[in-house]
Chain A
């Protein structure tokens, strides 16, 4: 304030000076100068008479001045604003902070993975909660349902004495089967066989770990790498579990975890055959090093400074460089969690889907069931729904897909594309229940009864919950590692470093992408790219995250897409799709006459000229009303810069997409950019 006034004064003074004539200006200056140099002296001089009293100029004014100075500093009234969860502050509450008019701010786009993972806290106890009736009575309703389930179960048991024994026996059999399948393998059998000091330690045995040890071995051929995984399997790939594995005709192949790749050749899920890996006991002695995998062991925490990792039985492993690639665990919905913990019948029939054990369970369950419900409309849910529907077609199995959004991939694809995809998923034979949530679960008549938010109830044999995953950051707290509160996952920099000698890759890494900002990505290729990057940096490299990872999804024969970058439905998009040619008359004729042979159709063409022209008109109208988004490119924009691209049913163009993303330019016409993708060709 003062500075501004002072500056204004100076400005006014200088303006005045400029306006006046030079003579006046000079005199003005002189006066100014005098003013500036006038010094008011308060010291005494020799001439002064000490006995003479200094005439008090104006005592009153001094006193007044004194009073003014002495007036106490009074603090302004505080008026604290009451922040109570049940009573939000009044809108006019005093706040000295500058108020940002939220209407002016553009809505910040967020990726599905970037959305704050809603940690459902218990609702505050409010005296008069004017919240919805539903919230208030939800617990009561669920309790009622569970009670009903319990009584029904009791009645069933009471009414059917003989059958009960059978049921119990069957249960035992099933339980036995489950137990034998789910027994995790521990290899080596005791932790004493695991080396207690290794140069490279990889915690987690998934895709990121695999890519990392490959990169480490490339850079350091004699490296000794120890991988610790809590799974019973050597590193394997996850995408085929929800796609190719279900297209297998051969049951034997499924048991051996073999599937057919897109190019026709067969392979199994594992990245490397078992004999690639060296035994834990031989790792350190082997002069050429190797990769050893300790299966069935969990790391509880790390001593980052001393570089020691501790297993759950207390065994300590010293390392030089460590990678944390613990991945993510599937989330369970509260309504199912509550039902499962209270009723073992429900528990048997509700499944999560993540690893090989889950796949085997679901596969078996599907073989034995008449109907299945999948909860979740994202990648996993949609892929599973299509795969199961395809598999279950022959035996008339019902597959339901229930999700909250208004279309499949509702958070990824723009609305029109999401709706189109939903229609395609329906065409695959899935009963899609969109804008629906499951609000109640109970066991009835030997099946699972799901109560839906729109009031309907469906009865299925099994339910698979595929609503997303949570990064596994169990070691964070005890190890002193930072976790991102919004995105989840361990915080790392652009070089994927969390602390010295500690790197993190894959689903659990929240990293800084210099082009797209801080993010956490849960895709296969991302695990490969970050795993490789971490491996390179662990062996002396200092490479930042630059190579953008991609992802893909296949939903039946008509819908397959590849994507790269930030692909979020809330961003503005520009989609360029291939339209049929204008000269499309022969097609109209062929479809009209039903004749596939061109010669015949051409002969008839002259006869049906008038008819075909009419049909053309109709065809065009049809096209406009129900667009066929067969092939195309969708650009996702943030501030007019392309941050994400989806290649819709066009393949082998990812390199071009990557370049467009890297360019970071603001294009005037994205149709011109779309031309680079040649969407009309195969």
Chain B
């Protein structure tokens, strides 16, 4: 059985030891819905450049080139998607080659622009953006 005790100066600290069984019964407290953080795509269809999933891609030295290329891809209606954005991606890649340590993971192999998926970008500065240290 869970039990409770008062500790500390003037007994101001209440301590409850709760068993697992006690906590299995659903809580009587309901919290309001958390604010939905927008993902990569905003409700109006635009790209959310603040999305942590982009890592530092949109804010780095090649940020402008990246945004141009990715926006073109996002709004592209060609088939396959993004095939009309070749030039922009090429410009972006040229830019990124100037910063090997910053973009080292992404430049090595990926030649296939149409399959470029920003979610796969796993830049090292992601973890610094996480406000919760151990949340994933």
Contact A659-B56, Cβ < 8 Å, known A267-B124, A276-B61, A577-B18: no
Q: Which residues of B contact A667 (CB under 8 A)?
A: 29
A577 to B4, CA, bound (A): 10
- Residues in A526-583 with C-beta less than 8 Å from chain B: 528-529, 547, 549-550, 552, 562, 572-582
A262 to B131, CA, bound (A): 14
Other-chain residue from B2, B23, B134 in contact with A562 (beta carbon distance below 8 A) = B134
Q: Which residues of A contact B124 (CB under 8 A)?
A: 267
Q: Which residues of A contact B59 (CB under 8 A)?
A: 214, 217-218, 221
The smallest C-beta distance from B100 to any residue of chain A, in angstroms, reads: 7
Render B74-113 as a binary contact track against A, CB cut-off 8 A, 1 for contact.
Answer: 0000000000000000000000000111100000000000
Q: Which residues of A contact B132 (CB under 8 A)?
A: 550, 562, 652, 654-655
Q: Which residues of B contact A552 (CB under 8 A)?
A: 133-134
Other-chain residue from B3, B15, B128, B133 in contact with A575 (beta carbon distance below 8 A) = B15
The answer on a CB contact under 8 Å between A549 and B131 is yes
The answer on a CB contact under 8 Å between A663 and B12 is no
Question: Which one of A8-16, A23-31, A159-167, A670-678 contacts B?
Answer: A670-678
The answer on a CB contact under 8 Å between B14 and A575 is yes
The answer on a CB contact under 8 Å between B64 and A267 is no
A-B contact count (CB 8 A): 165
Other-chain residue from B21, B22, B63, B136 in contact with A652 (beta carbon distance below 8 A) = B136
Is the C-beta of B32 less than 8 angstroms from some C-beta in chain A? yes
Contact A582-B131, Cβ < 8 Å, known A278-B61, A415-B9, A659-B34: no
Contact A576-B27, Cβ < 8 Å, known A218-B59, A659-B34: no
Q: Which residues of A contact B128 (CB under 8 A)?
A: 210, 237, 271, 528
Q: Which residues of B contact A574 (CB under 8 A)?
A: 13-16
The answer on a CB contact under 8 Å between B12 and A572 is yes
A663 to B3, CA, bound (A): 27
Is the C-beta of B58 less than 8 angstroms from some C-beta in chain A? yes
Other-chain residue from B27, B32, B63 in contact with A675 (beta carbon distance below 8 A) = B27
Is the C-beta of A103 less than 8 angstroms from some C-beta in chain B? no
The answer on a CB contact under 8 Å between B127 and A414 is no
Q: Which residues of A contact B15 (CB under 8 A)?
A: 416, 574-575, 577, 627
The answer on a CB contact under 8 Å between B102 and A288 is no
The answer on a CB contact under 8 Å between A671 and B49 is no
* Residue of B whose beta carbon sits closest to that of A275: B99
The answer on a CB contact under 8 Å between B58 and A550 is no
The 9 closest A-B pairs by CB, nearest first: A217-B59, A675-B27, A579-B17, A680-B20, A414-B13, A572-B12, A273-B101, A415-B8, A288-B64
Q: Could you tell me which A residues sit within 8 Å of B by CB distance? A: 210, 214-215, 217-218, 221-222, 237, 261-263, 267, 271-276, 278, 288, 290, 414-416, 525, 528-529, 547, 549-550, 552, 562, 572-582, 627, 651-652, 654-656, 658-660, 662-663, 667, 669-676, 678-680
Given contacts A214-B129, A290-B61, A679-B23, 17 further A-B contacts (CB under 8 A): A218-B49, A218-B58, A267-B127, A275-B101, A276-B102, A549-B131, A575-B13, A576-B17, A655-B34, A658-B34, A663-B31, A671-B18, A672-B28, A673-B29, A674-B23, A675-B26, A680-B23
- A to B CB contacts below 8 Å, 22 in the list: A217-B60, A218-B59, A272-B125, A275-B61, A276-B56, A290-B61, A575-B16, A576-B16, A577-B15, A578-B17, A579-B17, A579-B19, A580-B19, A627-B17, A652-B136, A656-B31, A660-B31, A662-B32, A671-B18, A671-B22, A673-B27, A675-B27
Q: Could you tell me which B residues sit within 8 Å of A by CB distance? A: 1-3, 7-9, 12-23, 25-29, 31-32, 34, 49-50, 56, 58-61, 63-65, 67, 99-102, 124-125, 127-129, 131-136
